[in-house]
Amino acid sequence: MTIEVIKPAASMRSQICPMDPWARRILNLVLGHNADILECTLTGPILRASTRTALAIGAPEGALPYPVWEPIFLSAGEELDLRRLGGSSRIYLAFPSPSYFVASAPMRKLTNGSPLRAKKSGCLELSWVADDALFSGAAFKLLAASDRRGLRYAAPTEVKGGREIPPEPMTYGAIQLPPSGNPIIVGPDGPLTGGYRRIATVAYTSLRNLAWQLPGDQVAFVKISREAALKQVLDLEDALVRDLVSC
């Protein structure tokens, strides 16, 4: 091992489906290979390089005192303190394959100003809503009882709870309204079908921002058109090809 964990994260797990849908592909392009990445939740680890090595971090722009979405080269003995996530609930870590220093696999960095370098924001865009009146710009607070199965929000005002429905397919980003009136956003480990009414869907590009939300954070839900949501997906997909340059 070239990297030791000096202090573990609150939670650090290898994820095939990270909550930030672009994190895995960006970090793999940065390090020039194809591997699972680690999703750290609430706190990150303290790491120490035992030999000269490199790693890459995925996080919202400006949250950490380290560069993100590009390789960080560490000399032997150098430490990286990732305990505080700078207001983000999750960060991602990727390590180069062991053959890197032998084979000199190409490393890349994400250019400054790329739309893939997003800041955490208090706005989550919706690509579909059942009823515009449900989200009239008011702030919803993320509750502590949230994880990768579901993100629970407290409604800003009394919302009439949804009744149960025949189970219908659910996907990551679907917003359900249970009888309590507090909406739940289905997470990547959430149910494949759900028996509560779906009232909206988070735009795919906003799932990155959702991944960064902390319990207690307030967000406003804003409806955008289906076409605008698709355009944003294409913008990020184009950036993945265009903005990762050799370093």
Binding site for other proteins (CB under 8 A): 21, 127-128, 149, 164-169, 171, 173-174, 179, 191-193, 195, 198, 201, 203-204, 226-227, 229-231, 233-234, 237
Starting at the edge strand found earlier in the chain, the sheet holding 90-94 runs: 11-15, 37-41, 90-94, 53-58, 71-74
CB 72 to other proteins: min, Å: 28
Q: Which is nearer to other proteins, 36 or 237 (CB)?
A: 237
Q: Which is nearer to other proteins, 121 or 171 (CB)?
A: 171
Q: Which residue has the tokens 């009232």?
A: 199
Q: What is the rounded CA–CA span in Å between residue 2 and residue 95?
A: 10
Q: Contact, 215 vs 143, CB < 8 A?
A: yes
Return the number of other C-beta atoms located less than 10 Å from residue 69's C-beta: 26
CB 90 to other proteins: min, Å: 20
Q: Which is nearer to other proteins, 49 or 229 (CB)?
A: 229
CB 25 to other proteins: min, Å: 10
Q: Which is nearer to other proteins, 53 or 127 (CB)?
A: 127
CB 165 to other proteins: min, Å: 7
Quote the DSSP letter at residue 101: H
Q: Which is nearer to other proteins, 10 or 234 (CB)?
A: 234
Q: Contact, 213 vs 121, CB < 8 A?
A: no
CB 37 to other proteins: min, Å: 17
Q: Which helix (H) or strand (E) holds 24?
A: helix 23-31
Of 145, 187, 148, give the one whose Cα is nearest residue 170: 187
CB 190 to other proteins: min, Å: 9
Could you tell me where the DSSP H helices lie in 64-129? 100-103
Q: Which is nearer to other proteins, 57 or 236 (CB)?
A: 236
